[in-house]
Amino acid sequence: EDQVTQSPEALRLQEGESSSLNCSYTVSGLRGLFWYRQDPGKGPEFLFTLYSAGEEKEKERLKATLTKKESFLHITAPKPEDSATYLCAVRSNAGNNRKLIWGLGTSLAVNP
Amino acid sequence: DTGVSQDPRHKITKRGQNVTFRCDPISEHNRLYWYRQTLGQGPEFLTYFQNEAQLEKSRLLSDRFSAERPKGSFSTLEIQRTEQGDSAMYLCASSPITSAYNEQFFGPGTRLTVL
């Protein structure tokens, strides 16, 4: 069964303290892995798509990497405005399936 | 604003009432998705449209839920005879047909509270 597990569930950092969030997945053929940011009471905001092992993408203080079993979202020198829940989702290449399988998210709090 | 829009943003209703939500996708996106999200959970897939055709529907979706996209543009999600367990954030997302990997772009959501 396709599954996505994110860790840790919650993370509290001091401003400037770099860290990484993990997304482990099992899927019958990976078609894409997606990272989203979600602020309280709002819809998820698209960050990155990763397609193949070894791929990396960056946006401001965020860098996403992908292996055959997991993805990491690295946050370098975070600021309080980076506080949010970060969600990971995968799509399998089984048939014409366009449904995304989601993790439960990592709630990040960055203290000033 | 050219993003996905949803209306209303908040809805409070009494148990047993019917509610309808609207989603307007990004204009050039022909794929549209509905999700439900409760606190501390990831989005839960409900249904998916390509143009006006409803191509996939979650087995979790009871007969009280129905979605339409009559002209392949906006979509509506109706919940009949609401129950307290229907209280959640209802999210709409869209993606372009040109995306081979199905990046989905979400609206702000409709928060439903069933009393």
H, E, C per residue of chain B: CCCCEEECCEEEECCCCCEEEEEECCCCCCEEEEEEECCCCCCEEEEEEECCEEEEECCCCCCCEEEECCCCCCEEEEECCCCHHHCEEEEEEEECCCCCCCCCEECCCEEEEEC
Structure tokens at B83: 């129950």
For residue B99, what pLDDT is reported?
72
CB nearest to A42's CB, from B31, B45, B109: B109
| Residue type at position A93 | N
Tokens 């509506």 locate to B76
Residues of A with CB under 8 A from a CB of B: 4, 31-32, 34, 36, 41-46, 49, 51, 87, 89, 91, 96-100, 102-105
B106–A99 C-beta distance less than 8 A? no
Nearest to A46 by CA among B26, B58, B75: B26
Residues B65-83: pLDDT tens digits?
999 999 889 999 999 999 9
A100 contacts on B by Cβ (under 8 Å): 43, 45, 102, 104
- What is the band of B1 on the pLDDT scale with cuts at 50, 70, 90? low
A99–B56 C-beta distance less than 8 A? yes
The answer to whether B101 contacts chain A (CB < 8 Å) is yes
B101–A32 C-beta distance less than 8 A? yes
Residues A46-63: pLDDT tens digits?
999 998 999 999 999 999
| CA distance between the termini of chain B | 33
For residue A2, what pLDDT is reported?
85
If you average pLDDT over residues A55-75, what whole number do you get? 96
A34–B104 C-beta distance less than 8 A? yes
Chain mean pLDDT for chain B: 92
Nearest to A107 by CA among A18, A28, A53, A39: A39
| CA distance between the termini of chain A | 41
